Structure formats: structure tokens, C-alpha cells
Amino acid sequence: MKHYKEDNLTVSNLGHLKKLMCFLHELVLFILVYLAFIQVPKEIDWKAYITQGSELWEWQMAVSDLFQERPIWHKDSLNECLLDKGFKFNIQMLRRLLLAVAYYFSGGPFQRLWIRKGYDPRKDPESCIYQRIDFRVPLPIRSYCDSSTNKLKHRWEDLCKFRVFPNKCQTSLQLYELDDDYIKQEIRKPSKQTTCTYETGWFSQQTFDSLKLCVMVRFLRVYPKSGAEKLLKATSEDFEKSKRACIYKDAIKHNQEKPQKINKEIINDEGNENHGHVDDAERDDIESDDHEEELDAYEATDLGGEDSEFSLLSHSYLDMGANSRSYLQELFDSFPLADAGVDKLADDASSDGEFQIYDQEDDENYTDDNNDDE
């Protein structure tokens, strides 16, 4: 009877142990996934895995050099730069070259922009100049984009200089490349935001709205057909109002900060010279009011918590769940099949005149396919 009870106790302990192991397994997975989401991919030494002087080396070096010029690129802009340099890749090859040196978010202020590995724009306020901005063709003139006669692809430079009207209903652009005095002026101002938010990045909502209205006005001015005059007038008025609102807001903030500094100096002087006296009740009221102002300011910045890194994840970059899954999935999908072998890679390279490269983040798996042809 005693032995039976011990067996039951053993079975019970095993059950608890299994539950504990399952819990620990899930906890470890959660920690690993969380760390993968908040940490951007590290830079890899691709030069150690490609034969110097080979065609693949030349291709990869051309892409890498562009990311040394600036850390964040729009894919269309980067592709046009490569074309101007005499390089022409299909979509698959360009993506593989990019994945060797860059990554992207699938949401947020840098959505689908290619970012140099090791660089995190969420931690650098100066990255605001590289943020993405979208132009959506207004509904009243959207039929222009649906017309089959307007499918000719524009040069990226012409779009960024507002020489042509987009032929797609939605076009993503990069602030850094837009040729407009107002935009250049605004993005070069020091960021007053304490965190990079999912919706507007390092800009305030008011400033970002003004930037979008500016883009809208510039494109409506080059709309090639009639019918956009009223829309342009209304948008221009909204843009001017938005600019005045930004100026007014900055002026109020400046005027509020200046008296506070003066008052502090006066209070300090009076305290030192014993010219004034504040009783305990008044002091409590002042401290209470100051505390409420601090809370209001804190809430206005939308930090989302004490940990600024986690506050970023709470929107996009736990959307970065989706973001990282999307990015990592593309890496995994590009892994060569084990049974494909070197021969198939050589056949593919000879069939289209382009070499394939592996695009894993793991340095050990990053290889030079050109060695197979030697």
C-alpha cells in the first residue's frame, strides 16, 4: 500500500515537472523572439565569403558603397542609382544583394525602406531626414491612375523633384530626396521629440501633417489634366494654415519656457536675499501644479511606458512581430535547398548570366557561388 502511494506521488511529480518544462520552454522562446524583435540585424563581413575581383564581388561592393553614403534607402532610388552606374539586376538578385548588407521594417516611419545592418534609426533623432512619407492621389482625380495610358514608369529623380505626377494611387517617398525648400528646412531642424513613434517617427503630428500637405500641393501643381484646380486651391489653403499652426505652437512653447526660466531666477534671488516668503500651503499648491504639468508633458510625448525601447515595440515593432517575421521569413525562404547542390546553382547562373548569393544573416552560411565556377 505504501509502495502504491509512492508511485502515485512519483506520477504526480512527473506531471508537474512536464508542465514546468513546457512553461520554461515557452518562456525561453518568448525571450528569444522578443530579443529578435528589439535588436536590429548586425552587420556581417560579406567580404570574407566572396572572391575578391569576381563579378559578384563587384555587385555586392556597389550596393554596399551606397549604404556607406547614407544608411537608409528607398529601393526605387537605390535601383536607379545602380542603373546609372551600369548595374542591372532582376528583382530577386537585387533583394539578395540588399539582404547581405541591409534590413527593413514592414511598418512604422521607415516602412519598407532598406536600412544598413547595425544601424537603428529608432535610436537616432537625426534619422528623421530619411523617414518615409506617402502621397495618395485624391479621390476626385484618382481615375487618372486607373487609365491604361498612364502606366509609363517615371524616373525616381523626376518624382522627387516634383516634375511629374505619380501614375500610381499611392506612392511612397523619402523626405531626404524631396526637392522642396520647406521640406528641406523642416527636416533639418533638430528633433524635439523624445522618442521615435510609430505614426510620425521623430516629427510631431502637426509638423508631419504639414509635410504631407506640402507634398500634396507640389504634386497637384504638376497634375497633367484639368479638374484639379479647386483641389489645389483648397489644399494650398490647408497647407498655409498648417504652417501657421506650427509656427504658433512653437512660439507659444518658447514663450512658456522663457518666463519659467526668468521666474526661477527671480525666486532664487529672492530666496538668497530673504526678500520674499512662501508659506507651506502655497508651496504645496505650486508643487502640485508643477507635478500635473510634468504629467501632461509626459503623456503628450506618448512614451508608452518607462522603457522607451519597449514603447517603440508596443506599436510597430511589436508589429515588429510581423515585421521581423516578414524579414526573417524572406531570409529563410531564400536558403538554398540541400538537394539542389552546387550544380544547380551553376546552371542557374549560366542560364540568366547572373550569379546567386546566399543571404543568410549567419556569417558561416554566407558563401561565394563564384567559387563553384572556377
Spatial CA neighbour of 54 closest among 349, 342, 353, 371: 371
pLDDT of 161 reads: 97
Q: Which of 96, 120, 99 has its CA nearest to residue 108? A: 120
Across the chain, what does the average pLDDT equal? 73
Alpha helices of the chain — where are they, by DSSP H? 2-38, 55-69, 75-84, 91-99, 143-146, 156-160, 181-187, 205-220, 229-273, 280-300, 308-312, 320-333, 341-352
- Residue 247 pLDDT: 81
Look at residue 15 in the predicted model and tell me its pLDDT.
Answer: 76
Letter string b/e over residues 275-300, b meaning 16 or more CB atoms within 10 A of that residue's CB: eeeeeeeeeeeeeeeeeeeeeeeeee
Q: pLDDT for 215-272, tens place per residue?
A: 999 999 999 999 899 999 999 999 999 999 888 776 666 566 555 555 555 555 555 5
Out of 14-23, 58-67, 360-369, give the one with best mean pLDDT: 58-67
Q: What is the percentage of the chain residues whose pLDDT exceeds 90?
A: 48
d(CA 374, CA 366): 18
Residue 176 has pLDDT above 90, yes or no: yes
Q: Of 138, 132, 145, which Cα lies nearest the Cα of 172?
A: 132
CATH number of 46-118: 1.10.10
Task: Answer yes or no: are the C-beta atoms of 87 and 59 closer than 8 Å.
Answer: yes
Per-domain residue ranges of the chain: 46-118, 120-255
Among residues 318, 343, 365, which one has the least CA distance to residue 35?
318
The conformational region for residue 53 under phi > 0 = left, psi -120 to 50 = alpha, else beta, is left
Q: Choose among 135, 166, 129: nearest CA to 151.
A: 166
Contacts of residue 241, defined as CB under 8 A and 6 or more positions apart, other chains included, come to: none
- Does the pTM surpass 0.75? The reply is no
Give the separation between CA 321 and CA 327, rounded to whole angstroms. Answer: 10
What distance lies between CA 110 and its chain's CA centroid?
2
| Matching residue, cell 560579406 | 46
Q: Mind listing the pLDDT tens digit for each residue in 89-118?
A: 998 999 999 999 999 999 999 999 999 999
Nearest to 352 by CA among 55, 80, 132: 55
Q: What is the pLDDT of residues 26-76, one digit of tens each?
A: 777 766 555 545 689 999 999 999 999 999 999 999 999 999 999 999 999
Average pLDDT over residues 267-290: 46
pLDDT at 256: 61
Contact by Cβ (8 Å): 372, 342? yes
Please give the average per-residue pLDDT across 140-152, as a whole number: 78
| pLDDT tier at 293, thresholds 50, 70, 90 | very low
- What does the alpha-carbon distance between residue 316 and residue 201 come to, in Å, rounded to a whole number? 11
Q: What is the pLDDT of residue 34?
A: 55
